Amino acid sequence: MKFRDGMWLPIEGKRTEYAEDIYTATQRPDSRALSLLCPTKHVRSRGDTLNLPTVTLDIEAVFDGVISVETTHWSGAANKGPHFDLFPAGKPVDDAKISVSDKGTTISSGSLSATVHPDQHTFDVRFHATDGSKQLTSLLNRSIGFAYGPAPSSPLQLDDMRNFDHYIFTQTTLSVGETVHGLGERFGAFNKVGQSVSLWNADGGTSSDQAYKNISFWLSSRGYGVFIDTPDHVELEIGSERSCRVQTSVKGQRLKWYLIYGPSPKEVLYKYTILTGRAGRVSSWSFGLWLSTSFTTSYDEKTVSSFLEGMKSRDIPVEVFHYDCFWLKAFHWCDFVFDSEMFPDPKGMISRIKASGLVKKVCVWTNPYLGQASPVFKMAAEKGYLLKRKNGDVWQTDLWQAGMGLVDFTNPEATKWFTGCMEQLFDTGIDSIKTDFGERIPTGDVQWYDENVDPSKMHNYYSFIYNKIVYEALQKRYGENEAVLFARSSTAGSQRFPLQWGGDCESTPEAMAESLRGGLSLGLCGFSFWSVDIGGFEGSPTPWIYKRWVAFGLLTSHSRLHGSNSYRVPWTIDNDDQGEQSSSKTLARWTALKARLMPYLYAQAMEAIAGGLPLSVRAMCLEFPEDPTSWYLDRQFMIGSKLLVAPIFEESGEVEFYLPEGRWTNFFTGEVKSGPRWVRETHDFDTLPFYVRENTVLVLGKEGERRTVYDYVKDVEVRLYHVNAGAKANLVDSDGNSKGTLEVDSNNDLVGQDLLQSGTNVLVISK
Catalytic residue numbers, as ranges: 436, 439, 504
Give the whole-angstrom CA distance, residue 655 versus residue 674: 17
Q: Which helix (H) or strand (E) holds 320?
A: strand 320-323
Scored b (16 or more CB within 10 A) or e, 605-637 reads: bbebbebbbbbbbbbbbbbbbebeebbebbbbb
CA-atom Rg of the chain in angstroms: 27
Q: Which helix (H) or strand (E) holds 730?
A: strand 728-732
The count of other CB atoms within 10 Å of the CB of residue 705 is: 20
Q: Give residue 215's identity as a one-letter amino acid code.
A: I
Q: Which helix (H) or strand (E) holds 656?
A: strand 654-666
E-strand ranges in 151-288 read 165-173, 180-184, 195-199, 214-220, 224-228, 234-238, 245-251, 254-261
- Measured over the CA atoms of residue 583, residue 588, residue 593 and residue 598, the dihedral's sign is positive
Give the whole-angstrom CA distance, residue 675 versus residue 630: 12
- Measured over the CA atoms of residue 299, residue 304, residue 305 and residue 309, the dihedral's sign is positive
Helix and strand totals (H; E) in the chain:
10, 43
Give the whole-angstrom CA distance, residue 218 versus residue 250: 16
Give the whole-angstrom CA distance, residue 529 versus residue 532: 11
Residue among 593, 584, 569 nearest 288 (CA): 593
Identify whether the C-beta of residue 737 lies closer than 8 Å to the C-beta of residue 693.
no
CA dihedral of residues 200, 205, 209, 211 (deg, nearest 10): 30
First to last CA, the chain: 55
Sort 27 into a burial class: Cβ within 10 Å, 0-12 / 13-18 / 19+.
Answer: middle
* Residue-level length of the chain: 767
Sort 58 into a burial class: Cβ within 10 Å, 0-12 / 13-18 / 19+.
Answer: middle
Give the whole-angstrom CA distance, residue 520 versus residue 541: 23
Give the whole-angstrom CA distance, residue 107 versus residue 95: 10
Give the whole-angstrom CA distance, residue 662 versus residue 646: 17
State yes or no: cis peptide before 617, omega within 30 of 0: yes
Identify whether the C-beta of residue 320 lies closer than 8 Å to the C-beta of residue 307.
no
Instruction: For Cα atoms 412, 414, 416, give the angle at the middle one, nearest 5 degrees.
Output: 70
Residue among 223, 261, 240 nearest 109 (CA): 261
Identify whether the C-beta of residue 673 lies closer than 8 Å to the C-beta of residue 539.
no
What is the SS3 assignment for 364? Answer: strand
CA dihedral of residues 483, 485, 490, 492 (deg, nearest 10): 20
Task: Name the strands in the sheet holding 361-366, side by side, starting at the edge strand that comes first in the sequence.
Answer: 530-531, 500-501, 485-487, 432-435, 361-366, 320-323, 289-292, 559-561, 533-534
Distances (CA, A) of 714 to 593, 599, 625: 17, 10, 36
